[in-house]
Structure formats: C-alpha cells, structure tokens
C-alpha cells in the first residue's frame, strides 16, 4: 500500500488554526499531553495483557522514552504501549469521535485570552504538538500480533499522510520537528524540568536521553494499607520541599459526591510566623496523576493555606478554564468536601493524638480563628477545634468547648470567657470574682483575636458564648455589713454627680466580692479589649474617642462603706477617693492608658492618710 493523503475534519482544522497561531505562553504543556497519551497507551497495553489477548512482543515492558536532539531541533516521545492500527490512526488523529473539539473551540471562543493548557481535558491534547512543531511524525505498531506498522505525518493545516512502515517495535513514537521559535524544547535541561513539573507521577517509567526521571510514585492513588511510613515521608519531602517530617497527614479517597483522592500534609512549622510573609497553599490539583494546576486556587479556603499535598479528581469536567476554575460549582464542591473532611480529621486527631494536636494548635490556632471569623460554612466544625485554658483546669492545660459544656451545671446557661493577658491577670480580674464565688467555670482567653472569635462563633452547642465582663450575674449570697440598698443607690447617684463625664452610669454591683468597684463597657461598638487591640496595633495612632464606661460599686466592700460616710464629712476628700476608685477599676481592666496621671492625686491622698497619725 502506498502513501495516502487525508484532510483533517473541519473542526480539527479550526482547532489547528488556533493552536498553530496562538501566542500562548505555556507552550510547554504539549510535553505533558504527549506523555499522558504515552501513559494511556501503556495502560491500555496492560489492560490487553490482563484480558489474555495475544500481544506482540510481550517481553517488552510498558515504558516511555523521551529523546531530544538539539542539533536536529527535534524532540521524540516514544512508548511501548498499545500502538495504533491504520483504522485507529485515521479515527484518533484526524477525526474526533467525541465532542471534545467542539467544546474546546467554544471555550476558546468565549475567552479573550484562550487558555490552551486545558486542551488535554477536552480530549484533543495531541494537537497541542502543533504549537511548537512544524512537522509531526508518528510511527506506530499495534499490540495485536498480526498488525503491520504505520507512519503518520502532518505539517499542520494541510492534512496528513499515512503510509506503511516496516520493522517497527510495538508502541508509538512521536517525533516533532520544532519551529524556529520553539527550539528550546530540543534542550534536555528544559525538557527535564517540564517533565518533572507535570509528569512526575506518571505510573510508567519515563527516561529522558537515557536518564530515569520519575522515581517518586503517585502514592495518593494507592491503597493506604500498602504504603509505608517512609514512602509517605519521602513523598512529602518531594512535594513539600521541607526537610522535616510532616506534623499531620491525611490520606483519603471518596467516590461521592465526587471522585477524589487526596493526600494532605500539615508541616511541623507555621511558615507564616517564621517571618516568611503570607504563605500560599501548596496543594496541587491532578487529574489521573497528571498535574492540572499547581497551587490550585480555590481548592481550599484561604485559612487552610498552610496545607501541602495533592488532590486528584477524575471529575474535572470539560468546561473549566484556569481563570474560571475558582468559580465553577465543581471547585466549590471540591472545596466543601475537602475542607469538611480535613476538619473532621483534625477533630479525630485531637482525641487520638492530643499531644500532637496540641502542637498543631500552638502553631496554627490563628488560622482556625481566621476561619471562624471569615467563613460561615465551617463555623461549627471549627468551634470544636478551639482550645482554651480554664478556671477549672490547672495552668497549662486547655479544654475544648465541648468538654466545657459537659461540665456546666444545670442552672448555667452560657459559656463564659474572660479576656486577659495571662492566667494570673485572669484570676485577679474583678470580672472573675462572681464566677469564683459561684464555682462556675470560665475560659481564659489570652489571644487578642479571641474577642472576634467569640463574637463570630456566637454560640456553641446552642449555648451562647458570653464575655465575663458582660455577664449579667448576681452573687449567690448577700454579704454581711453591706450598705443598705437605698444607701448604696444614694452613693451611686452621688458618684455619678462627682465623676461627671468620666463615667456613663454608676450602678450598684451584684457581682463583686473582693474589689470595691469595676468598670463595665457601655460602648456597644467598641469593647474594652477591642480598644486595647486597636491601641496595641497603632500605639502612635490618633487617640480613640474617649471611652465611656459604666462604673459598678461593691456595696459590701469596706472602702465603699467608708466612702459613703466620708462624703457627708469631707466632700473634697471623698471626691478624690471616688476618682481614685474609678482609676483603680480602670487599671484592673487594663484600660488606664497612662497611669502617671493619677500619681499626684494618689500622693495627696497618702499625705492625708499620714497626717492623721
Ligand atoms: P485523548 O488523549 O484525550 O483521547 P488526544 O488528542 O491526546 O486525546 O489523543 C487522541 C487519541 O489518539 C487518543 O485517545 C488515542 O486513542 C490516540 N493516541 C494518541 N497518542 C497515542 C499513543 N502514544 N499511543 C496510542 N494511541 C495514541
Ligand atoms: Mg491525550
């Protein structure tokens, strides 16, 4: 049989026109496409073997060989896979049986900057060769024992020629004569880099000019019971570029609602706190072991950006493009499934490996908190992961909200949280007194972000979260020697008159045991601790509008009793004491910006005390 000329199907001509003339910058993906085809062919060979079919050259193992010739300006991708007979050639490399080209053309037409990188997803990856080649030659011999070999040659738009070829080994060899502006793909170094990037996990050996390239397996696609610890760690080193072992590892697969295989790692260290600036997620998206998108955007929420690993999904549809990938409902679905699964994993780890979880929490709690504040979808799952010190536990130990709720006595309706710089400050806080007296547990929150977390989380297991300073609680017992209700109210009124604008309102407190007075927020928009945070963030910034507090006094405190007596006798002295009491309460709340302002008053008070001797 002699040479036969063929035209490309109209749609393929159209496609070639775009591909050949594209100014697309990531031309390198043609290597990924041709290697993927070679790998598919190897897979089909295996399938043929396992089905008991008579195979030509059965002793030759499936493998992929790439050779470059920079003098000739060619690159060749050969495989020992299933090969093609004449009918296959015409059907596969010239016409299109499925709707791939149409869908791809439509997508290219809709995009102003066509993204050819997804060409493989549309089932027309082979034609990407024409981005870089002026001539493509395919030599192929089918796995069937009685088929001859064939040559297929095309210089693009004009069509292709098929002729018989003698003495071919089984498989396919695709040779590209590179265009002048694509000669770099005849350079071994360049090609090696590209193969490592996209095709590291192709499950058949790839050799480039005699050198074996892909030595790390796509272990995510294997059964986890067959994978050794060292293999996981080696894989992590490879993809994570991290010399330490990972802190956590999650390997899972799912069939519904999406086919997913994922292998995710949490590094030992939070690189963001190591002064590296904001980190980027390093989870790569694969489709059947071939890289689709490195550091895939939108695969996980931002607050999980510390994750490294691989997600492989066969369900990536034909109608995605890189720019719109983030918006597709598929990506959102993937995101939701993956995030939910990872949070569930963390919850399990917190029970199975509390110590490792503690380490994780120490490194990454800010990310979880960022999640609570920014992501409504996973709030409940995130709430379960929070850990705080508590008045019911010794220092250094922390509790989950779930365990706190279990310990709540029946008459306690809310979860109480106290913001403080550290444990001793929390225990000395006047806001803690009523809880201590009632023996109710309070969570101690030392992180400035926690106030926002409490606010956004709002409740846990239907129990509202309440800041201790906002708790409306009364002491369980009345104290001896307290001012009468009327006397206390009169004193409160006098204090308001005396302190004037410095306070919003003066009240008789029902929650103080040891302290004479306490300030309480009356500002609904800016709580005391939010003020502290804002001040800490911008110490030299403009002054915040003057804070207004309510002042609560303890009618059972001796100081308050004596102040009440004194105000009849020495109004000036009583006034000074009143101001000092307020300042003391502000100090206790961490709200006195410059304590020096009270020194002169304090000194004159001391003078008066000493003068009485
Ligand atoms: P897809 O790989 O998605 O089917 P391609 O355009 O990459 O689309 O390839 C078209 C078809 O050509 C393949 O389905 C396959 O049948 C055939 N083919 C391409 N390369 C090879 C190869 N190296 N060995 C055997 N068949 C091949
Ligand atoms: Mg292909």
Same domain, 49 and 137: yes
Q: So what's the pLDDT on residue 50?
A: 85
Number of H helices, E strands in the chain: 19, 22
State the CATH number of the domain containing residue 571.
1.20.120.790
Pocket test for ligand 1, best of 40, 162, 169 (most atoms within 8 A of CB): 40
**Structural domains in the chain (count):** 4
The band of 527, judged by pLDDT with boundaries at 50, 70 and 90, is low
The band of 579, judged by pLDDT with boundaries at 50, 70 and 90, is very high
The band of 318, judged by pLDDT with boundaries at 50, 70 and 90, is very low
Q: So what's the pLDDT on residue 52?
A: 84
Same domain, 17 and 126: yes
Q: So what's the pLDDT on residue 278?
A: 85
* Residue 510 counted as domain residue: yes
* Residue 480 counted as domain residue: no
Whether the per-residue pLDDT at 100 is higher than 80: the answer is no
Domain boundary among 338, 353, 368: 353
Same domain, 25 and 94: yes
Residue 91 CA to ligand 1 center (angstroms) comes to 10
The band of 276, judged by pLDDT with boundaries at 50, 70 and 90, is low
Q: Minimal CA–CA distance to 206: which of 140, 290, 123?
A: 290
Task: Please tell me the residue having the least CA distance from ligand 1 atom 9.
Answer: 126
State the CATH number of the domain containing residue 313.
3.30.230.80
Stretch among 156-160, 295-299, 545-549 having the lowest mean pLDDT: 545-549
DSSP strand pairing (133-141 vs 171-178)? antiparallel
Stretch among 15-19, 330-334, 388-392, 562-566 having the lowest mean pLDDT: 330-334
326-344: per-residue pLDDT in tens? 556 778 888 999 999 999 9
User: What is the arithmetic mean of pLDDT over 195-216?
Assistant: 93
Residue 41 CA to ligand 2 center (angstroms) comes to 10
Residue 353 is given by DSSP the state -
Same domain, 203 and 270: no
User: What is the arithmetic mean of pLDDT over 364-368?
Assistant: 96
The band of 323, judged by pLDDT with boundaries at 50, 70 and 90, is very low
Whether the per-residue pLDDT at 600 is higher than 70: the answer is yes
Q: So what's the pLDDT on residue 606?
A: 92
Q: Indicate which atom in ligand 1 lies nearest the CA of residue 124.
A: 6
User: What is the arithmetic mean of pLDDT over 82-100?
Assistant: 86
Same domain, 47 and 179: yes
Q: So what's the pLDDT on residue 95?
A: 83
More confident residue, 328 or 385: 385
Whether the per-residue pLDDT at 398 is higher than 60: the answer is yes
Pocket residues for ligand 1 (CB within 6 Å)?
33, 37-38, 40-41, 79, 81-84, 92-93, 123-126, 172
Stretch among 349-363, 403-417, 438-452, 515-529 having the lowest mean pLDDT: 515-529
Whether the per-residue pLDDT at 320 is higher than 70: the answer is no
> Average pLDDT of the chain?
89
* Residue 183 counted as domain residue: yes
pTM: 0.76
The band of 399, judged by pLDDT with boundaries at 50, 70 and 90, is very high
Task: Please tell me the residue having the least CA distance from ligand 1 atom 15.
Answer: 92
Whether the per-residue pLDDT at 116 is higher than 90: the answer is no
The band of 559, judged by pLDDT with boundaries at 50, 70 and 90, is very high
Whether the per-residue pLDDT at 237 is higher than 50: the answer is yes
Same domain, 414 and 450: yes
Q: So what's the pLDDT on residue 109?
A: 77
State the CATH number of the domain containing residue 125.
3.30.565.10
User: What is the arithmetic mean of pLDDT over 182-207?
Assistant: 95
Whether the per-residue pLDDT at 521 is higher than 90: the answer is no
Query: What is the residue whose two structure tokens read 């913001």?
Result: 419
The band of 486, judged by pLDDT with boundaries at 50, 70 and 90, is very high
The band of 523, judged by pLDDT with boundaries at 50, 70 and 90, is low
Whether the per-residue pLDDT at 587 is higher than 70: the answer is yes
Same domain, 594 and 577: yes
Same domain, 269 and 328: yes
Q: Annotate 209-266 with three-state secondary structure.
A: CCEECCCCCCHHHCCHHHCCHHHHHHHHHHHHCCCCCCCEEEEEEECCCCCEEEEEEE
Whether the per-residue pLDDT at 107 is higher than 70: the answer is yes
Pocket test for ligand 1, best of 15, 91, 126, 154 (most atoms within 8 A of CB): 126
Same domain, 97 and 230: no
Contact 586, 519 (CB under 8 A): yes
Distance, in Å, from the CA atom of 488 to the CA atom of 564, rounded to the nearest integer, reads 8
243-263: per-residue pLDDT in tens? 889 999 999 998 877 889 999
> What are the strands of the beta sheet with 282-287, ordered from one edge?
248-254, 260-266, 308-313, 282-287, 290-293
Both tokens of residue 172?
Answer: 């396919």
Write the CB contacts of 20 (distance below 8 Å, at least 6 apart in sequence): 130, 131, 156, 157
Domain boundary among 408, 441, 470: 470
Distance, in Å, from the CA atom of 464 to the CA atom of 416, rounded to the nearest integer, reads 9
Same domain, 98 and 52: yes
Percent of the chain scoring above 90 in pLDDT? 60
User: What is the arithmetic mean of pLDDT over 171-182?
Assistant: 97
Q: So what's the pLDDT on residue 509?
A: 86
How many beta carbons lie within 10 A of that of residue 95, not counting itself? Answer: 15
Same domain, 225 and 195: no
The ligand that comes nearest to the alpha carbon of residue 43 is 1
* Residue 22 counted as domain residue: yes
Whether the per-residue pLDDT at 171 is higher than 80: the answer is yes
Residue ranges making up the domain that contains 329:
219-353
CA distances from 577 to 382, 493, 516, 581 (A): 47, 15, 12, 6
The band of 113, judged by pLDDT with boundaries at 50, 70 and 90, is low
User: What is the arithmetic mean of pLDDT over 66-72?
Assistant: 97
Residue 383 CA to ligand 1 center (angstroms) comes to 49
Same domain, 162 and 263: no
* Residue 367 counted as domain residue: no
User: What is the arithmetic mean of pLDDT over 388-403?
Assistant: 96
Stretch among 32-41, 132-141, 287-296 having the lowest mean pLDDT: 287-296
Task: Please tell me the residue having the least CA distance from ligand 1 atom 23.
Answer: 38
Residue 201 CA to ligand 1 center (angstroms) comes to 19
Residue 74 CA to ligand 2 center (angstroms) comes to 20
Cα–Cα–Cα angle for 61, 66, 69, nearest 5°? 145
* Residue 380 counted as domain residue: no
State the CATH number of the domain containing residue 449.
3.40.50.11260
* Residue 180 counted as domain residue: yes
Both tokens of residue 356?
Answer: 């490792």
Residue 90 CA to ligand 1 center (angstroms) comes to 11
Percent of the chain scoring above 70 in pLDDT? 91
The band of 576, judged by pLDDT with boundaries at 50, 70 and 90, is very high
Domain boundary among 470, 500, 528: 470
Surface-to-core class of residue 2, CB atoms within 10 Å of its CB (0-12 exposed, 13-18 middle, 19+ buried): exposed
User: What is the arithmetic mean of pLDDT over 270-293?
Assistant: 82
Whether the per-residue pLDDT at 74 is higher than 80: the answer is yes
Whether the per-residue pLDDT at 240 is higher than 90: the answer is no
Q: Residue-wise over 124-151: b if at least 16 C-beta within 10 A, else e?
A: bbbbbbbbbbebbbbbbbbbeeebebbb
Residue 53 CA to ligand 2 center (angstroms) comes to 24
More confident residue, 240 or 340: 340
Q: So what's the pLDDT on residue 374?
A: 92
User: What is the arithmetic mean of pLDDT over 70-95?
Assistant: 95
* Residue 334 counted as domain residue: yes
């Amino acid at each position: 049989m002699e040479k036969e000329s063929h035209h490309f199907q109209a749609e393929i001509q159209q496609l070639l026109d775009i591909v050949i003339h594209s100014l697309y910058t990531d031309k390198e993906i043609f290597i990924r496409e041709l290697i993927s085809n070679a790998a598919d062919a190897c897979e089909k060979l295996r399938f043929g073997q396992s089905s008991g079919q008579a195979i030509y050259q059965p002793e030759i193992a499936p493998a992929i060989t790439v050779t470059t010739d920079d003098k000739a300006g060619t690159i060749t991708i050969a495989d020992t896979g299933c090969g093609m007979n004449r009918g296959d050639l015409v059907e596969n490399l010239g016409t299109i049986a499925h709707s791939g080209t149409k869908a791809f053309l439509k997508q290219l037409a809709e995009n102003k900057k066509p993204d050819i990188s997804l060409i493989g997803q549309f089932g027309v990856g082979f034609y990407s060769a024409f981005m870089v080649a002026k001539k493509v030659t395919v030599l192929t011999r089918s796995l069937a024992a009685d088929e001859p070999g064939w040559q297929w040659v095309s210089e693009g738009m004009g069509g292709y020629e098929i002729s018989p070829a003698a003495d071919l080994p089984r498989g396919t060899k695709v040779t590209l004569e590179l265009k002048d502006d694509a000669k770099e793909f005849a350079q071994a170094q360049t090609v090696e880099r590209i193969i490592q990037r996209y095709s590291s996990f192709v499950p058949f050996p790839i050799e480039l000019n005699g050198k074996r390239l892909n030595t790390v397996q796509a272990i995510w696609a294997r059964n986890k019971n067959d994978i050794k610890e060292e293999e996981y760690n080696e894989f992590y080193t490879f993809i994570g570029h991290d010399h330490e072992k990972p802190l956590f590892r999650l390997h899972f697969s799912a069939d519904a609602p999406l086919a997913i295989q994922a292998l995710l790692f949490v590094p030992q260290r939070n690189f963001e706190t190591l002064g590296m600036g904001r980190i980027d997620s390093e989870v790569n998206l694969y489709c059947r072991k071939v890289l689709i998108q490195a550091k895939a955007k939108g695969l996980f929420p931002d607050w999980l950006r510390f994750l490294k690993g691989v997600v492989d999904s066969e369900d990536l549809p034909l109608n995605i493009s890189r720019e719109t990938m983030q918006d597709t409902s598929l990506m959102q679905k993937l995101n939701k499934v993956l995030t939910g699964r990872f949070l569930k994993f963390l919850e399990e780890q917190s029970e199975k490996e509390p110590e490792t979880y503690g380490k994780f929490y120490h490194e990454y709690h800010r990310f979880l908190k960022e999640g609570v504040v920014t992501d409504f979808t996973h709030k409940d799952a995130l709430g379960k992961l929070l850990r705080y010190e508590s008045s019911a536990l010794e220092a250094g130990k922390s509790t989950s909200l779930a365990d706190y709720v279990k310990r709540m006595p029946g008459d306690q309706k809310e979860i109480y949280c106290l913001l403080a710089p550290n444990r001793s400050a929390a225990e000395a806080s006047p806001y803690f007194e009523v809880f201590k007296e009632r023996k109710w547990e309070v969570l101690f929150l030392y992180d400035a972000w926690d106030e926002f977390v409490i606010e956004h989380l709002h409740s846990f297991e239907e129990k509202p979260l309440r800041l201790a300073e906002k708790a409306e609680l009364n002491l369980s017992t009345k104290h001896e020697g307290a001012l009468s209700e009327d006397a206390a109210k009169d004193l409160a009124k006098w204090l308001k008159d005396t302190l004037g604008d410095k306070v919003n309102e003066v009240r008789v407190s029902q929650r103080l045991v040891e302290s004479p007075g306490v300030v309480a927020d009356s500002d609904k928009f800016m709580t005391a601790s939010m003020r502290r945070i804002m001040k800490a963030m911008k110490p030299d910034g403009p002054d915040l509008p003057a804070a207004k507090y309510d002042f609560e006094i303890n009618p059972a405190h001796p100081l308050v009793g004596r102040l009440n007596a004194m105000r009849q006798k020495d109004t000036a002295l009583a006034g000074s004491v009143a101001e000092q009491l307020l300042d003391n309460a502000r100090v206790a709340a961490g709200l006195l910006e410059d304590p020096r302002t009270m020194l002169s008053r304090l000194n004159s008070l001391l003078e008066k005390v000493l003068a009485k001797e």
